Structure 1
Amino acid sequence: MPRIYKKKLGTREYRNYSEATVNEALSQVVDGKLSIRGASEQYNIPYGTIYNRYKGTHMRKPGAQTVFSESEEKAILKSAAKCSDWGYPLTLLDLRFFAKAFLDKKGRVVTKFENNLPGVESAYSLLRRHKDEYSQRVSSNIKKARAKVSHDSINKYFDNLTPVIKDLPPSNIFNYDETNMSDDPGKKQGIYRRGVKYPEKIMNFSKSATTVMMCGSADGVLLPPYVIYKSVHLYDTWKEGGPKGTPCCQKTCCSSGSRFNRTNSGWIDSITFRDWFRTSFLPHAKAFLPHAKV
C-alpha cells in the first residue's frame, strides 16, 4: 500500500474546503454578488486562493505534481475498467504496464519511473485519487459458457417461472445446488467501476475436490448436506459428524443427518445424484407432502 502521510501534531490545516465550495465562491465573485474579500469571509477560504483562481494564476494543485493530468488519469482508468466490462479485468500490475504503454506511445520519459514503469505506490495513489469511481475488487471466475447468458434470457426464464409457481405454497418449492470447495485457481483483484455488484473474470478452469449438495424449500426448511469426496473408497472416519438437526430438518426423514458418498473426480455424477435424490430428497418430500406423487 502507498504511504499515507500524517501531519505532525500542531500543524495548521492547509486546506479545509472542497473544490465545489471554491467554485461556488468564484461564481459569486464573477456574477458581481460578492467581492473577493466578501467571498473569502463568507466561505472561509483564504483571500489569496480566491484571488489567484479569479486571476487564473497558481492553478496547480498543492504538493508534488502528478505525472499524468487528471484527464489522462481518468482515460487510463476508464480504459482499464472497460476490460472488466468485457470480463477480463486488469490487475494492479496490468494497470502499471498500461500506464507505461501510454507514456511510451506519447514519447514521454519519466525519470522517477524505472524503465518508464510506474511503481506500486503510484498505482495505489492513482486509484485513491479516483476512489469514488474506481476500486479494486476480488473477482469470481466464471466460464465462457456462463458468461454468454444474457439478461434477456434470465428475464425470460423468470417470466415463464412466475405463472408456474403462482399457486404453490412455499413448502412445495425446492431449490438445490452443489458446489466444490477446494482446488480453485484462486481469485485476484482487478480494476472495476465503483458500484459493480458482481465482479467477474472470464476464464476456463477445472477443479476437483470435495463437493457438497445443498437443498432447501422456499419456507426455509433445509435438508442435511450431501458430501461427495474425491476417492476410490469411502472410509468410515470420513462419515463422522456433519450438520444434523437445526437449522436442517429435524423430522425422522432427515434424522440420520448428513449423508456421504465418493466419486473418482470429487464431482457429482448421475449415480451420486440419483442416490441423493432417493435417499435424501424423496424421504423428506414424502414426509412433508404425504399426499403428493413423488
Structure 2
Amino acid sequence: MSQIRRRVAGAKPYRNYTADTLRAAMAALDTEMSLRESEVNCKVPRATLNRKKTNEKELNKVGRPKVFNDALKEEFVQSIITAAAWGYPLTGLDLSLLVKSYLDRLGLNETRFKGNLPGRDWLKGFLQRHKSTLSVRFSENITPKSRCYPRDIKKILSRIKNYLGGC
C-alpha cells in the first residue's frame, strides 16, 4: 500500500489563496478595513493577515521535518555516482543499506524507518527528487567478452588507491 498522502476533503486548508489575493487583502487593511472584513472579502485567513500586518516571522513549514538535510542527501547522491563510476552501481537495496549503516554509525534511531532501514516509499521518493542526476537501469548480462581479467582488476584497484590518496 502506497503512503503517498492526499488531501482529505474537509481537512483544514493551508494557503488556499494566491499571492495576489494576499496583496489585495493587505491593501484593503491599509484602507481602514478591519481584519474580519478583509478576511470575508478576500478569503484569506484572519490569522495570516494579522501576522503579515504585525511583521511576525514566518511560521515553520506544515508537517513533519525531513529525515535528512539537503547537504546530506547530496552526499548520498555523490556516493552513488562515485560507486557507479568505479563500476559498482548500487541497487535500491544497496542504497537503503547505505542509509541504514549511516544512521547506525551515528547512533540515530529514525522512527519512520522500520529497524532504521528505509522502505520502498522513501527510496521511490528519493529517486524521484533526484531524477536529474540518478536513474534506475537494468543491469547488463555478463558475457564471456565482459569477464574481468587481472589487468582490469589492477586498473580498478589503482583508481581506488588514487582516490584514497595513495594509502
TM range (shorter): 0.5 to 0.7
Match of 2:104 in 1: 104
Q: Distance in 1 between matches of 2:16 and 2:90?
A: 35
Name the one with the larger strand percent: 1
Match of 1:58 in 2: 59
Q: Which has the larger radius of gyration?
A: 1
- The alpha-carbon deviation at position 66 of structure 1 amounts to 2.2
1:5 paired with 2:5, answer yes
Aligned pair count reads 122
- Residue type of the partner of 1:91? T
Name the one with the larger helix percent: 2
SS for the counterpart of 1:63 is coil
Q: What are the Cα deviations for residues 21-60 of structure 1, in whole angstroms up to 9, with x where unaligned?
A: x9xxxxxxxxxxxxx947x89xxxx794995xx8654343
Match of 2:93 in 1: 93
Are residues 6 and 55 of structure 1, via their aligned partners in 2, closer, same or farther at CA, if it must alter by over 3 Å? same
- The alpha-carbon deviation at position 104 of structure 1 amounts to 1.6
Report if aligned partners of 1:99, 1:117 keep a CA contact under 8 Å in 2.
yes
Q: Distance in 2 between matches of 1:9 and 1:3?
A: 17
SS for the counterpart of 1:138 is coil
Q: Distance in 2 between matches of 1:122 and 1:103?
A: 15
- The alpha-carbon deviation at position 102 of structure 1 amounts to 1.2
- The alpha-carbon deviation at position 9 of structure 1 amounts to 5.8
Q: How does 1:1-294 map to 2 (within 5 A)?
A: 2-8=2-8, 14=14, 37=23, 48=48, 57-60=58-61, 62-141=62-141, 143=146
Report if aligned partners of 1:3, 1:121 keep a CA contact under 8 Å in 2.
yes
Q: Distance in 2 between matches of 1:16 and 1:73?
A: 31
Q: What are the Cα deviations for residues 263-291 of structure 1, in whole angstroms up to 9, with x where unaligned?
A: xxxxxxxxxxxxxxxxxxxxxxxxxxxxx
- The alpha-carbon deviation at position 5 of structure 1 amounts to 2.9
Q: Distance in 1 between matches of 2:121 and 2:10?
A: 27
Unaligned runs of 5+ residues in structure 2 are 28-43, 153-167
- The alpha-carbon deviation at position 112 of structure 1 amounts to 3.2
- Residue type of the partner of 2:108? R
Are residues 97 and 55 of structure 1, via their aligned partners in 2, closer, same or farther at CA, if it must alter by over 3 Å? farther
